[in-house]
Amino acid sequence: MRIYRLEPLRLLTKRKNNNIFTRESAFSQKFSQNEKQEVIKLKKRILSVVFALCMCISSPSVAHAWQEDSLRQEAVPAEESTFGAVTRDSESLSPAGVYASMIALKEQDAYAEGTIWTNDEPYSGSNPYRWKGGPLGGTNVSAVGCVAFAFILSDAAFGSLPARMYAEGEFAFEDIKVGDILRTNNDVHTVIVLEVNDAGVVVAEGNISMGDHQGRVHWGRAISKEEVMQNASHYITRYPEGYVPPDDPGANESIASGTLDGGLAWNLTRAGTMTVSGKGAMPDFESAGQQPWSENGGQIRKVVIGDGVTSIGSCAFFNCGVLSVEISPSVTEIGNNAFYGSSIISVTIPPGVKRIGDSAFRGCQSLNLVTVFEGLETIGQNAFRSCKSLASIDLPASIAEVGAAAFFQCQGMTSATFAPGGRQVKMGDNMFTQCYNLMGVTLPQNIDRISDGMFQNCLMLPGVEIPQGAESIGTSAFASCSGFSVVLIPDSVTTIGMAAFSACPLKDIYFTGSEAQWNSIGKSGDIIPVLSKATMHYNYVPPVNPDPGGGDNPGGDNNPGGDNNPGGGNNPGDSNSPGGSSNPGGGNNPGDSNSPGGGNNPGNGESQTPLAVGKTFTIGKVTYKVTKAGEEVELTASKSTSAKVTVDTVAGTDGVTYQVTSIGAKAMQNNKKMTNLTIGANVKKIGKSAFNGCRKLGKVTIRSTKLTSVGKQAFKGTKSSLKVKAPSSQLKKYKRLFKKAGLNAKQITK
C-alpha cells in the first residue's frame, strides 16, 4: 500500500462567500523541481479528497479544514472527552479492544440506534465535530453528518493515535480492520467498521439514507466484500503501519452446543462460527424462539452445514446475525424462513439442493450475492423478497418453478437471467414486482405464462422477449413500467389480461404470428388503446442464438423496436430478413464476424480444454486474451467495421463461453465505423485510450454496474455530442470515472 505524506506542506484554508480557497506556502529548498511538482499534485488530490469526504448530495455531510495553528488554540468541548474506555497507545491496541470502546457508545442515548443524526444535528457547520486523528493530507478536519459519527467512534477507540488515508486501489480487503473508516456509496457516505468477516464487514453509521433509518444512527448493517471493494473510494486507518492483530487463543472456544431431534449436533464458538454436524435432516422450527441457539442468535456470524446433513430446517436461522453460510453437497433442501431477516451477505447454493423454501432469504437486506448451481428445481414464494442489496440473479436450466413474489421488492436488482433449458418453467405472480432498477431479463426458453404483475413497477426495464410456449400475459404484468417500449410476443399467447401494459410507453410489438392470429387473441378492453399506439411487426422471426444482452435483441437499446431498426436489416420486422445478415446477432449469421463476440463458427462446435491464462484467440476481427481460465477474457484489439458494437460475452475457439470483463488499452482506438457502443454487464475495466479517436461514436450504453476503472483518455477525441447512458445507481461514480477518460459530467446521463 502507498500513503501520501505531505508533512513539508502547510495549507491555509479560509471561507469566503461559501467558497473554499487555498494558498500554498513556500517549499523547502531540499526538494527538487520534480519532487515539488509531484507533491503539488498529491496535495491537491488529498485536499479534494478531504472535502469530498463530507460534501454529499443524497446523504450530505460537510467537512471543513482549519489552519492548524488556529485549531490548536481552540479548546476541546467537554463532551468529547467522556467516551469511557479508550485505546490510546499502539502497544495495547487490539481489534477486540477497539470494538469494545465503540460498542460502548451504543448504550448512550446520544449514539443509540435510531437517534436523529443529520448534517445539522447534533453537529452543524457552525459547530462541527473536530476529531483527534490528526491531519489528513496535512490538514486538520472537522465534520458533521455521517463523517462526524464515524470520527466520534474512531476517537472513542483510538484516542489521539494518528490516522492514515488511502485512496481507491491503494488498499485490499485484507487490510481492513475493526475501527477503520470507509467512504462508500460512490463517495457520498462514510461508515466505521465494527466487524470483519470473510464475506464482508459490519458497520455503524450516522445520517444513513436508507429506508426507515433515514437521517438516523444505525448499528449493524452488513456490506459484502465485493461491494466494499467496488464502492469504497477511501479508507482511513489508525492502526500503525505493519500492525498485525494478536491471535485470539479463545476464538475456537465453544460458548454453546447441543443436539437436535434426529441426532444432529451443533456447536457455536466464541468467534461466531456455528457448525451443524451428523447424518440426516435438521428439524423444522416454528419460530426463532424455538431455536435451541435462540439466546445466542445474534452472535452467530458463520454457519457451516457439515457433510451428511440433508436439510436446513424451517426458521433455523430466522433473524440471526449470520453473515455467511457454507452448505455441504449433501443438503437437498433449504427450509421455509430458514434465513429470514438474517444479516447474511452472500450464499452459494450447491448442486445437491433441489428446493429453496418459502421466504427462505426474505428480508435479508444485506444479501448481495447469490450463486446457484445446476440442480436447483424450485424456488418458493417470497424466497428472496425484499433483498434490497441483491444486484443480479442467474438461475440454472434445472429450474422448474419460481414461486409468487420470489424477487418482489429486490430494489437493487439490475439483471435476471435464466439459463436455456428444455423443461417448462412455472412462473409465479408478482415475481419481479417493484424491482425498480431491473434493466435486463432473459426468461427461460419455455414458460407457462407471463404471470399477473410479474414486472409491475420495473421502472428501468426497456423491453422483454416472451418465449414461445407462453399462453398468456397476466393482469398488470408490465403495468407502470415507465421505460418499457418494446416487447416480443409469441403466437402461443391466447390472452392478454387487464392493465397488462398500463402506463407503458409501448412503441413496438413484435409478434411471431400473422395479423389474423393477433386479432384472435383475447384482449382486455382497457389495453386496446395502449396497444393501438404501438407499431405492429407481424410474422417476426427471432434471431437464432442471439448475442446475450446484445445491441440487436429484445430488451436492449437497439433491440427489436429500438433506434428505428427493429429486428435489424433494411426491412424492420420483415419475416424474410429477421435481423438481417449484415446486422450483428441477426438472420443466419448469429454474432456477425465483424462484431465482438461474433464469428461464423464460434467454438467450432467441439468441446476442448479451456485455454490457459494469457492465451489469445481471434473471433472474426476481434482478439481476446484469457484472464481467468474457462471464465473471463479481455478484449485486446478489434478491427471491426460494424457501426453497432456490443461487448459482453464471446464463444471462444476452445468451446467455452467467456465473459468479457475488461477492454484493453487502445483496443478500439481510431475506429472509423463505430457509431453505437454497448458495454455489457460483466465489464469491470476499460483501458487507456481504449476508444480514443472514435470520431463517429455518438452513443454509449453501459449495462455494467461493476466498472471500477476507466483509463486516461479512453474516450478522448470522440464527438462532443457523445452521450454515455449509465445505470442510475452508479451515475455519480461513473461521472467521476469518465471525467478522467476525456468526457465531461454533462455527457454522462442515466
How many of the other CB atoms lie within 10 Å of CB of 448? 15
- pLDDT of residue 255 exceeding 80: yes
d(CA 158, CA 153): 9
Average pLDDT, the chain: 80
Looking at the domain assignment, is residue 105 inside a domain?
yes
Q: What HEC string does 99-125 produce?
A: HHHHHHHHHCHHHCCCCECCCCCCCEC
DSSP lists the bridge partners of residue 463 as 486
- Per-residue HEC secondary structure of 563-576 comes to CCCCCECCCCCCCC
Q: Rounded to 5 degrees, what are φ and ψ at 94?
A: -155, 145
Could you tell me the pLDDT band of residue 566, with boundaries at 50, 70 and 90? very low
Residue 29 neighbours by CB distance under 10 Å: 5
Q: How many C-beta neighbours within 10 Å does residue 61 have?
A: 26
The answer to which of 105-109, 471-475, 584-588 has the lowest mean pLDDT is 584-588
Q: Which of 348, 403, 404, 395 is nearest to 376 (CA)?
A: 395
pLDDT the model gives residue 432:
97
pLDDT (0 to 100) of residue 157: 94
pLDDT band with cut points at 50, 70 and 90 for residue 92: confident
CB 640 within 8 A of CB 648: no
Tens-place pLDDT, residues 334-375: 999 999 999 999 999 999 999 999 999 999 999 998 999 999
Number of helices (H), then strands (E), in the chain: 8, 47
Number of domains in the chain: 2
As a whole number, mean pLDDT of residues 165-189 equals: 91
Q: What integer pLDDT is reported at residue 672 of this predicted model?
A: 84
Cα dist. 13→24, 41, 142 in Å? 10, 17, 13
Residue 472 included in any domain: no
**What residues contact 637, with CB distance under 8 A and at least 6 apart?**
622, 623, 664, 666, 667
Residue 444 falls within a domain, yes or no? no
Strands of the sheet with 426-427, listed across from one edge: 280-281, 309-312, 333-334, 355-356, 378-379, 401-402, 426-427
Q: Is the pTM of this model over 0.85?
A: no
Predicted confidence band at 544 (pLDDT cuts at 50, 70, 90)? low
Say if residues 505 and 531 touch (Cβ distance below 8 Å): no
Out of 196, 220, 237, a domain closes at 237
Domain-terminating residue out of 237, 258, 282:
237
| pLDDT winner (highest mean) among 425-434, 581-590, 677-686 | 425-434
**Is 587 among the domain residues?**
no
Please state, in angstroms and as integers, the Cα–Cα distance from residue 339 to each residue in 225, 482, 585, following that order: 20, 34, 42
Higher pLDDT, 385 or 598: 385
Reported as a single tens digit per residue, the pLDDT across 486-542 is 999 999 999 999 999 999 999 999 999 999 999 999 998 888 899 999 999 999 998
Question: Does 54 reside within a domain?
Answer: yes
Q: Flag whether pLDDT at 195 surpasses 90.
A: yes
pLDDT in tens, 449-473: 999 999 999 999 999 999 999 999 9
What percentage of the chain has pLDDT greater than the value 70?
79
pLDDT of residue 249: 80
Domain boundary among 183, 215, 237: 237
Domain-embedded: residue 313: no
Residue 238 backbone dihedrals phi, psi, to 5 degrees: -120, 10
Residue 78: give the domain boundaries.
11-237
Amino acid found at 55: M
Task: Report which of residues 210 and 43 the model is more confident about.
Answer: 210
Q: Is residue 448 part of a domain?
A: no
Residue 48 clears pLDDT 60, i.e. is over it: no
Q: Are 692 and 666 in contact (CB under 8 A)?
A: yes
Classify residue 305: in a domain, yes or no: no
Per residue in 223-245, pLDDT (tens digit) is 988 889 888 988 999 999 888 88
**Looking at residue 90, what is its pLDDT?**
60
CATH of the domain at 687: 3.80.10.10
DSSP string, 233-274: -EEEE-SPTT--PPP-TTTT-EEEEEE-TTS-EEEEETTSEE
What angle do helix axes 95-103 and 145-158 make, rounded to 10 degrees? Answer: 120
Listing DSSP states for 202-215 in one string gives EEEESS--SGGGTT
